[in-house]
């Protein structure tokens, strides 16, 4: 097997603990990865005086694949968010967040949920442009920009993902009834793309109804594709459906690089205690292995996580167990 080098960002708070755990499992699996460590976030600010050092950007550009722990964004310094900045720098336009039921979580849906949210990651309400408050504090404005090209590529990504993974249906989520220009352009573009994929069922759903439907009948969804802000909110809702942040991974995919991570943050309230759940980052590693063309190893890792949950072996406190980050990881590694 050839060795693939990936950039590893250990991150802040619980970041180093869950990364140690994730790398322990990947090493035990012998999937042929070499790690190039790079700093970002608070650690980088302390060591190099910058939140996002050039060396880190160079490493990601060179390796094209990064596994990243959560980063703390210090309030009032530098970028509005380092994560948003990374997505911008590498044009990581597709944020892919799977949500699938797991056994022995505290979820309301121990079975039946198996969906992927594909969130547009670079435009919409997330541009820093035009965020203004009037001098007297009486009104505020912001710019939401949607492009035809941005809409086309995210919807195309969702339909290609459906084909590639044997999924049958794509739900285009929008609010074009109210946001007539931005969401309207998105919806019209999505319809044109959908017409090129007659083999995949396509339906349209307004975002508020989508939230209700997700809670009432999540099993009707297969792939959801939507704009940045709606995707942010919906994917957290979906994480909640299957057992919470400790089980929710996300991939940020662009044409030149891809960054795999947990959806959750640096959890300062439990940092350094060795009790953080490593599963979200490990499930990010599952997505990474798929991306690297190792679907068998991706399935192997995922199955080991499910088997460990099923056996209730060394689960962390968020899942009702008394295990630690590393004992949970070792239990998973032993099942790979």
SS (H, E, C) 192-214: HHHHCCCCCEEEEEEHHHHHHHH
Known catalytic membership, residue 39: no
Residue 22 to residue 250: CA distance in whole angstroms: 15
Given Mg ion, ligand NAI, none, residue 246, with its beta carbon under 5 to 8 Å by kind, binds ligand NAI
Residue 143 to residue 53: CA distance in whole angstroms: 29
Residue 239 to residue 48: CA distance in whole angstroms: 35
**Which is the catalytic residue, given 39, 232, 290, 318?**
232
Known catalytic membership, residue 175: yes
Shortest reach from residue 67's CB to ligand NAI, in Å: 12
Given Mg ion, ligand NAI, none, residue 270, with its beta carbon under 5 to 8 Å by kind, binds ligand NAI
280 binds ligand NAI (CB under 6 A): yes
Given Mg ion, ligand NAI, none, residue 232, with its beta carbon under 5 to 8 Å by kind, binds Mg ion
Interface segment toward Mg ion; rule CB under 5 A; list 120-128, 200-208, 231-239, 292-300: 231-239
Judged by beta carbon, residue 232 or residue 261, the one nearer Mg ion is 232
Residue 214 to residue 117: CA distance in whole angstroms: 12
Question: Residue for token digits 């090129």?
Answer: 196
Shortest reach from residue 240's CB to Mg ion, in Å: 12
What is the DSSP-derived secondary structure letter of residue 118?
E
Shortest reach from residue 238's CB to ligand NAI, in Å: 15
83 binds ligand NAI (CB under 6 A): yes
What is the DSSP-derived secondary structure letter of residue 125?
T
Given Mg ion, ligand NAI, none, residue 276, with its beta carbon under 5 to 8 Å by kind, binds ligand NAI
Interface segment toward Mg ion; rule CB under 5 A; list 1-9, 99-107, 118-126, 225-233: 225-233
Judged by beta carbon, residue 120 or residue 232, the one nearer Mg ion is 232
**C-beta contacts of 321-324 below 8 A and 24+ residues apart:** 324/274, 324/275
Judged by beta carbon, residue 200 or residue 239, the one nearer Mg ion is 239
Shortest reach from residue 232's CB to Mg ion, in Å: 4
Known catalytic membership, residue 208: yes
End-to-end CA distance of the chain: 18
Torsion, Cα of 130, 134, 140, 145 (10° steps): -20
Rg of the chain, C-alpha, whole Å: 20
Known catalytic membership, residue 157: no
**Which is the catalytic residue, given 175, 186, 318, 330?**
175
267 binds ligand NAI (CB under 6 A): yes
Judged by beta carbon, residue 185 or residue 332, the one nearer ligand NAI is 332
User: Which one of 232, 261, 290, 318 is in contact with Mg ion (CB under 5 A)?
Assistant: 232
Cβ-based neighbour number of residue 26 at 10 Å: 24
SS3 313: coil
Torsion, Cα of 292, 297, 302, 304 (10° steps): -150
Catalytic annotation, residues: 126, 175, 208, 232
Residues that bind ligand NAI (CB under 6 A): 14, 70-73, 83, 245-246, 261, 264-270, 276-277, 280, 318
């Amino acid at each position: 097997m050839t060795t693939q080098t990936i950039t590893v960002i250990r991150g802040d708070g619980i970041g180093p603990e869950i990364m140690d755990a994730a790398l322990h499992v990947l090493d035990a699996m012998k999937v042929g990865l070499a790690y190039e460590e790079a700093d970002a976030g608070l650690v980088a600010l302390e060591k190099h005086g910058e939140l996002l050092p050039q060396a880190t950007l160079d490493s990601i550009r060179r390796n094209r694949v990064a596994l990243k722990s959560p980063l703390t964004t210090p309030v009032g310094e530098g970028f509005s968010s380092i994560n948003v900045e990374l997505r911008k720098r590498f044009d990581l336009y597709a944020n892919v967040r799977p949500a699938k039921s797991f056994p022995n979580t505290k979820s309301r849906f121990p079975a039946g949920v198996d969906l992927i949210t594909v969130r547009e990651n670079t435009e919409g309400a997330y541009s820093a442009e035009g965020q203004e408050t009037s001098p007297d504090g009486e009104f505020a404005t912001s710019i939401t920009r949607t492009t035809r090209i941005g809409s086309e590529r995210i919807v195309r990504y969702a339909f290609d993902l459906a084909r590639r993974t044997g999924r049958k249906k794509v739900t285009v989520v929008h609010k074009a009834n109210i946001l007539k220009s931005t969401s309207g352009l998105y919806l019209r573009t999505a319809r044109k793309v959908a017409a090129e994929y007659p083999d995949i069922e396509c339906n349209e759903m307004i975002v508020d109804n989508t939230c209700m439907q997700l809670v009432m009948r999540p099993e009707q969804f297969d792939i959801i594709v939507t704009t940045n802000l709606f995707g942010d909110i919906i994917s957290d809702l979906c994480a909640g459906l299957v057992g919470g942040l400790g089980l929710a991974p996300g991939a940020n995919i662009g044409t030149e690089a891809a960054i795999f991570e947990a959806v959750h943050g640096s959890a300062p309230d439990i940092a350094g205690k060795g009790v953080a759940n490593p599963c979200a980052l490990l499930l990010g590693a599952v997505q990474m292995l798929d991306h690297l063309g190792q679907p068998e190893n991706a399935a192997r890792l995922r199955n080991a996580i499910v088997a460990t949950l099923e056996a209730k072996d060394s689960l962390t406190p968020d899942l009702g167990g008394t295990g630690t980050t590393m004992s949970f990881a070792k239990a998973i590694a032993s099942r790979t």
